[in-house]
Amino acid sequence: MILKLLLVGAVIYTVYIMFFKQKSIKEPNKAKTTKKKQDTQEINEMIECATCGVYCELDEAILSGSKYYCSTECVDKAS
């Protein structure tokens, strides 16, 4: 009788470890990966304007004729 109770307890403990303990281990890793993603999003590549030499972010730069410009005014000056 005691052996059956110990066996049932061991099975319940094993199921608990497999399903519930692993989730709590994975959650801190998710927090670390989201923090890393936020850090990498803050860093943007800077490009030098072909006309005036001012550095601007690659996302905000204007590509015209295989050269990057900081504004439409610099694009017009280069033409």
Residue type, 26: K
Instruction: Read off the pTM.
Output: 0.46
Provide the 8-state DSSP code for 48.
Answer: E
Q: What is the pLDDT along the chain (79 residues), one digit of tens a residue?
A: 899 999 999 999 988 888 777 555 555 555 555 666 555 556 788 999 999 999 999 888 999 889 999 999 999 998 8
**Token pair of 34, please?**
């989201």
What is the distance between the alpha carbons of residues 29 and 49, in angstroms, rounded to a whole number? Answer: 40
| CATH number among 3.30.499, 3.40.50, 3.30.9, 3.30.60, domain 44-79 | 3.30.60
What is the distance between the alpha carbons of residues 57 and 42, in angstroms, rounded to a whole number? Answer: 11
Residue type, 10: A
Element at 63 (helix H, strand E)? strand 62-64
What residues are paired with 69 via a beta bridge?
Answer: 62
